[in-house]
Amino acid sequence: MPLVQIEKDRCKGCELCVRACPQEIISMSREINTKGYFYAQVVEQPRCIGCRLCAITCPDVAILIRVNGVSYRFFAY
């Protein structure tokens, strides 16, 4: 099962990943990060299908996807 990790302190709260996720399992936190932004978080990890759209979309490369023990940060289209 893929594991999506969002580095909250890299997030600028643009919400692009929220809109990109076909499973609608990313939402914005009600807390702020060290930059002062409401950050994105995965709320229903078990429903993730590993499509990578969130990671591809994030302009700040704040999203890592972990598959079979290997972490991926960059993806080509």
Residues that bind ligand SF4 (CB under 6 A): 4, 6, 11-17, 20-21, 23, 25-26, 40, 42, 48-54, 57-58, 60, 62-63
Which residue is listed with tokens 């972990």?
A: 66
Token output for 12: 């600028």
Hey, what are 44's tokens?
């229903």
Rounded CA-CA distance 63/5 in Å is 6
